[in-house]
Amino acid sequence: MAKLKVGMIGGGGPGAFFGRVHLRALSLDGTRELVAGALRTDPKAALASAAEWGIRGFGDWREMIEARARGRLELDYAVITTPNNAHFAPAMACVEAGIPVLCEKPMTMTVDEAERLAARVKEKDVPFVLAHTYTGHPMMMLAREMVRRGDVGRIRKIEAWYTQGWLATALEKDGQQQAAWRTDRARTGISNCGGDIGTHAFVAATWVSGLKVRRVSARLNSFVQGRDLDDDFNVTAEMDNGATALITATQIAIGYKNDNGFRIFGAKGSLEWRQERAESLLVRAGECDRTYWIGGGAPFFPESVGSYLRVPAGHHEDFLEALANLHCTMERTIRRRRGEEAPAPYDHPGAETGVAGMRFVAAAVASSGAQGAWRDV
C-alpha cells in the first residue's frame, strides 16, 4: 500500500512549532509522508526550510499547486498551517484545484470568507478536515458516540471550557511570537481568546452534543493592560433544542496549561471529560460513577472509534495521536474514493464546522459589545 503524499503550506518558521507537529502527526502511522512544502512566506526562507526538512521546497504555495496541476508533483492532500490570516487564500486555491485540505483552525478571518470557502468545498466535493485536534481524541469521539446513541438522554445543559494561563502577563510585549500574533487584530481577527480556544470549547459543546447554538449572550474581557483583544471569553448560549450551554475560555488562569473539557447533562445521565486527565471519560448516572479508560481493544468503543486506536488497553494516546487521527480520516476518505480498502472515516469537523465557529465568535463579539444582549448565531 503506497504512502499518501502530503504537501504543507506554512509551518516552517523558527517559532512556528505547528508545522513540526503536523509533520509528526502525518508521519505517525507510516502510511503518509510529507513530500513537499511551501513552508514560509519568504521564498528563500521557504526553500531553505524545505531543504532542512528534507522535502521538495516551493517558494510560494501557488507554485506548489501549479506543479501538481501540471503533473510535476504528486500530492494527495495539503495541510495548511499558516497564521490565521493566511488560511483562506491557499485553502480556497487548493479546493479550486481539487486538492483535499486539512486546515488549521480558525478556518478563516471572517464569516464571509468561511461561508465562501465552505460553499466551494461543497460544490467541488473536496475532502476537507478542520484541525480541531481533540475531536480526534478517542475519548472525545467516544463521548460523542455515547450522546448519539442516547446514553445521556435529551440534553439539558452543557458546560464547555478551555482554561489557560499563559497570557496572564503581557507576553506579547516581550517579543514572544505566539503571543504576538494572537493578540494582534491584523493577524488574528476580531477575537484572540475566543477565536483561539473559545472555538475549541464551542466545538466541544456542539460537535459532541450534536446540537447547534441558536443565540448567545457574551462577556469578553481584556484583563491584561494594553491588550486590545479579549483574553477572557464567556458565553451563555441557547441551543437549538432549548438547552443552555456555558461556553468559556480564558488565557489568564495562571498555572492552567490546557484545562479543556466539557460536561453534558442530559435527562438520563451526565458525561464529563477533561483534557488534563484525557485518558478517561466519566459517566455519571445510577448509583455510581463510571470511568472508561482509553486503550485499544476495549469493548465499549464502537468500531467507528476503536479502529482509530493504536496501542493496547491502558496505554494512552493523546494530542499527536488525536491530530494523526484527523490525518487518518483524511487518508481513509481519499483511499476509499480511490477504491482502496480502508476503514470508514469518522465524521470529523469539516468546513461547515469552520463556518459555525466563525459565526459563533462573531456573534459573541457583537453581544459583548452590546452589554451582553442576545445575538443570533
User: Of residues 42-71, which lie at the interface with its own copies (CB under 8 A)?
Assistant: 52-54
CB of 333 to its own copies, least distance (A): 20
- Min dist. Cβ of residue 70 to its own copies (A): 27
Name which of 186 and 288 has its Cβ closer to its own copies: 288
Site residues for its own copies, 124-153, by CB under 8 A, read 152
176 counts as binding its own copies under rule CB under 8 A: no
Kindly report the CA angle at 114 between 117 and 148, in degrees rounded to 5? 100
Dist CA 179 CA 172 (whole Å)? 5
- Round to whole Å and give the CA distance between 62 and 306: 38
Size of the site for its own copies (CB under 8 A): 87
Among 319, 343, 352, 366, binds its own copies (CB under 8 A): 319
Stretch in the footprint of its own copies (CB under 8 A) among 37-45, 123-131, 194-202, 304-312:
304-312
> Does residue 168 belong to the site contacting its own copies (CB under 8 A)?
yes
**Cβ of residue 134: shortest distance to its own copies, in angstroms?**
9
Q: How far apart are CA 293 and CA 313, in angstroms?
A: 8
Cβ-in-10-Å burial (0-12, 13-18, 19+) of 125 comes to: exposed
C-alpha cell, 80: 495548511
From the list 87-95, 119-127, 289-297, 355-363, the region that binds its own copies by CB under 8 A is 289-297
Name the residue nearer to its own copies (CB basis): 36 or 358.
36
**Best CA proximity match to 296, nearest among 316, 323, 274:** 316
Q: 209-228: which residues touch its own copies (CB under 8 A)?
A: 217, 219, 221, 223
Of the candidates 340, 301, 277, 3, the residue with the CA atom closest to the CA atom of residue 145: 301
Site string for its own copies, 351-370 (x = CB under 8 A): --------------------
Site residues for its own copies, 265-284, by CB under 8 A, read 265-270, 275-279, 283-284
Phi, psi of 154 (to 5 degrees): -65, 130
258 scored as a contact of its own copies (CB under 8 A): yes
73-112 residues near its own copies, rule: CB under 8 A: none
Quote the least distance from Cβ 119 to its own copies, whole Å. 33
